[in-house]
Amino acid sequence: MGMVQQKGNFAFIDGTNLHLSTKYLSWLIDWQAFREYLRKRHNVTQALYFVGYSGQYEWIYKYLRSYDYRLVHKPLLRLPDGSTKGNCDTELVLHAMIELDNYDKAVIVTGDGDMGCLVKYLNDIGKFKLVIACKRDSSSYQIRRAAGGNIMFIDYLREKFEFIKK
Protein backbone atom coordinates (compact mmCIF):
# COMPACT_ATOMS: atom_id res chain seq x y z
CA MET A 1 0.00 0.00 0.00
CA GLY A 2 1.54 3.36 -1.07
CA MET A 3 2.08 6.25 1.25
CA VAL A 4 -0.07 9.33 0.79
CA GLN A 5 2.17 12.27 0.02
CA GLN A 6 1.26 15.52 1.73
CA LYS A 7 0.87 18.54 -0.50
CA GLY A 8 1.95 21.13 2.02
CA ASN A 9 0.31 24.45 2.71
CA PHE A 10 -0.04 27.48 0.47
CA ALA A 11 0.27 31.09 1.57
CA PHE A 12 -1.97 33.65 -0.12
CA ILE A 13 -0.38 37.04 0.50
CA ASP A 14 -2.26 40.30 0.01
CA GLY A 15 0.88 42.16 -1.07
CA THR A 16 -0.63 45.64 -1.06
CA ASN A 17 -2.20 45.20 2.38
CA LEU A 18 1.03 43.85 3.85
CA HIS A 19 3.20 46.50 2.19
CA LEU A 20 1.00 49.45 3.22
CA SER A 21 0.54 48.15 6.78
CA THR A 22 4.25 47.67 7.37
CA LYS A 23 5.14 50.93 5.60
CA TYR A 24 2.74 52.80 7.92
CA LEU A 25 4.63 51.33 10.88
CA SER A 26 8.04 52.15 9.31
CA TRP A 27 8.89 48.45 9.17
CA LEU A 28 10.80 46.67 6.43
CA ILE A 29 10.23 43.01 5.67
CA ASP A 30 13.16 40.78 4.86
CA TRP A 31 11.33 38.85 2.13
CA GLN A 32 13.81 35.99 2.05
CA ALA A 33 13.55 35.50 5.83
CA PHE A 34 9.75 35.78 5.69
CA ARG A 35 9.61 33.09 2.99
CA GLU A 36 11.83 30.83 5.11
CA TYR A 37 9.60 31.48 8.14
CA LEU A 38 6.54 30.45 6.10
CA ARG A 39 8.32 27.33 4.83
CA LYS A 40 9.75 26.18 8.17
CA ARG A 41 7.03 27.21 10.63
CA HIS A 42 3.93 26.64 8.51
CA ASN A 43 5.03 24.09 5.87
CA VAL A 44 4.25 26.57 3.07
CA THR A 45 5.36 24.96 -0.18
CA GLN A 46 3.97 27.78 -2.36
CA ALA A 47 3.67 31.45 -1.45
CA LEU A 48 1.39 33.32 -3.84
CA TYR A 49 1.92 37.08 -3.65
CA PHE A 50 -0.90 39.22 -5.05
CA VAL A 51 -0.02 42.71 -6.22
CA GLY A 52 -0.99 45.23 -8.87
CA TYR A 53 1.37 45.34 -11.84
CA SER A 54 3.42 48.31 -12.98
CA GLY A 55 6.45 47.96 -15.26
CA GLN A 56 8.43 50.39 -13.11
CA TYR A 57 8.38 47.82 -10.28
CA GLU A 58 9.63 44.88 -12.33
CA TRP A 59 12.87 44.87 -10.31
CA ILE A 60 10.83 44.29 -7.12
CA TYR A 61 8.86 41.48 -8.75
CA LYS A 62 12.09 39.83 -9.90
CA TYR A 63 13.47 40.16 -6.36
CA LEU A 64 10.37 38.49 -4.85
CA ARG A 65 10.41 35.68 -7.44
CA SER A 66 14.07 35.01 -6.60
CA TYR A 67 12.95 34.13 -3.06
CA ASP A 68 10.34 31.67 -4.32
CA TYR A 69 7.23 33.85 -4.26
CA ARG A 70 4.77 33.15 -7.04
CA LEU A 71 3.46 36.52 -8.16
CA VAL A 72 -0.11 37.04 -9.32
CA HIS A 73 -0.65 40.43 -10.92
CA LYS A 74 -3.54 42.65 -11.80
CA PRO A 75 -2.95 45.76 -13.94
CA LEU A 76 -2.92 48.97 -11.91
CA LEU A 77 -5.85 51.32 -12.46
CA ARG A 78 -5.03 55.00 -12.77
CA LEU A 79 -7.58 57.01 -10.79
CA PRO A 80 -8.81 60.50 -11.75
CA ASP A 81 -6.61 62.10 -9.07
CA GLY A 82 -3.51 60.53 -10.65
CA SER A 83 -3.03 57.86 -7.99
CA THR A 84 -3.09 54.16 -8.81
CA LYS A 85 -4.97 51.21 -7.38
CA GLY A 86 -4.12 47.54 -7.74
CA ASN A 87 -6.67 45.83 -5.52
CA CYS A 88 -6.16 42.07 -5.89
CA ASP A 89 -8.72 40.79 -3.36
CA THR A 90 -10.79 39.01 -5.99
CA GLU A 91 -7.71 37.38 -7.51
CA LEU A 92 -6.56 36.13 -4.10
CA VAL A 93 -9.96 34.56 -3.37
CA LEU A 94 -10.17 33.09 -6.87
CA HIS A 95 -6.70 31.53 -6.68
CA ALA A 96 -7.38 30.11 -3.22
CA MET A 97 -10.33 28.30 -4.82
CA ILE A 98 -8.54 27.32 -8.05
CA GLU A 99 -5.67 25.82 -6.04
CA LEU A 100 -7.93 24.18 -3.42
CA ASP A 101 -7.02 20.61 -4.36
CA ASN A 102 -3.29 21.42 -4.49
CA TYR A 103 -2.75 22.35 -0.84
CA ASP A 104 -3.49 20.92 2.57
CA LYS A 105 -4.23 24.20 4.35
CA ALA A 106 -4.15 27.91 3.55
CA VAL A 107 -2.21 30.63 5.32
CA ILE A 108 -3.81 33.98 4.51
CA VAL A 109 -1.54 37.02 4.95
CA THR A 110 -3.75 40.11 5.30
CA GLY A 111 -5.64 42.20 7.79
CA ASP A 112 -8.37 43.03 5.27
CA GLY A 113 -11.93 42.25 6.36
CA ASP A 114 -12.87 41.41 2.77
CA MET A 115 -10.99 38.13 3.27
CA GLY A 116 -13.24 37.14 6.19
CA CYS A 117 -15.63 35.18 3.94
CA LEU A 118 -12.71 33.24 2.40
CA VAL A 119 -11.26 32.41 5.81
CA LYS A 120 -14.67 31.29 7.09
CA TYR A 121 -15.26 29.07 4.05
CA LEU A 122 -11.80 27.51 4.19
CA ASN A 123 -12.26 26.89 7.91
CA ASP A 124 -15.66 25.27 7.30
CA ILE A 125 -14.14 22.79 4.82
CA GLY A 126 -11.01 22.07 6.88
CA LYS A 127 -8.59 23.94 4.60
CA PHE A 128 -7.72 26.91 6.81
CA LYS A 129 -4.56 27.07 8.92
CA LEU A 130 -3.82 30.66 9.88
CA VAL A 131 -4.19 34.37 9.20
CA ILE A 132 -1.05 36.48 9.53
CA ALA A 133 -1.96 40.15 9.92
CA CYS A 134 0.17 43.18 10.66
CA LYS A 135 -1.22 44.35 14.01
CA ARG A 136 -4.33 43.60 16.03
CA ASP A 137 -5.46 47.23 16.09
CA SER A 138 -4.98 47.70 12.34
CA SER A 139 -6.61 44.47 11.22
CA SER A 140 -10.31 44.19 10.53
CA TYR A 141 -12.71 42.78 13.09
CA GLN A 142 -14.17 40.57 10.32
CA ILE A 143 -10.84 38.86 9.61
CA ARG A 144 -10.11 38.41 13.32
CA ARG A 145 -13.59 36.93 13.93
CA ALA A 146 -13.34 34.59 10.92
CA ALA A 147 -9.88 33.35 11.97
CA GLY A 148 -10.91 32.76 15.58
CA GLY A 149 -7.81 31.78 17.53
CA ASN A 150 -5.88 31.02 14.34
CA ILE A 151 -4.42 34.46 13.79
CA MET A 152 -0.93 35.80 14.38
CA PHE A 153 0.19 39.38 14.26
CA ILE A 154 3.47 40.44 12.73
CA ASP A 155 4.11 42.87 15.58
CA TYR A 156 4.16 39.82 17.89
CA LEU A 157 6.21 37.72 15.46
CA ARG A 158 8.70 40.58 15.18
CA GLU A 159 9.81 39.79 18.73
CA LYS A 160 10.60 36.17 17.83
CA PHE A 161 11.75 36.20 14.22
CA GLU A 162 14.14 38.34 12.21
CA PHE A 163 12.07 39.11 9.14
CA ILE A 164 10.91 42.56 10.31
CA LYS A 165 13.28 45.48 10.66
CA LYS A 166 12.25 48.73 12.29
- Residue 46 amino acid letter: Q
Asked whether the beta carbons of 68 and 45 are under 8 A apart, the reply is no
The model's pLDDT over 11-28, given as tens digits with 9 standing for 90+, comes to: 999 998 888 888 877 888
Residues 6+ apart with CB under 8 A from 81: none
Could you give the 3-state DSSP secondary structure of residue 86? coil
Question: What average pLDDT does the segment 135-141 reach?
Answer: 79
Domain annotation for the chain: domains and CATH numbers: 9-165 (3.40.50.1010)
pTM of the predicted protein model: 0.89
Name the maximum alpha-carbon separation found in the chain: 63
| Number of other CB atoms surrounding residue 147 within 10 Å | 23
d(CA 120, CA 151): 13
Asked whether the beta carbons of 18 and 115 are under 8 A apart, the reply is no
Q: How confident is the model at residue 134 (pLDDT cuts 50, 70, 90)?
A: confident
The model's pLDDT over 87-102, given as tens digits with 9 standing for 90+, comes to: 788 899 999 999 999 9
CA-based torsion, 155, 156, 161, 166: positive or negative: positive
Q: Residue 53: its pLDDT value, please?
A: 87
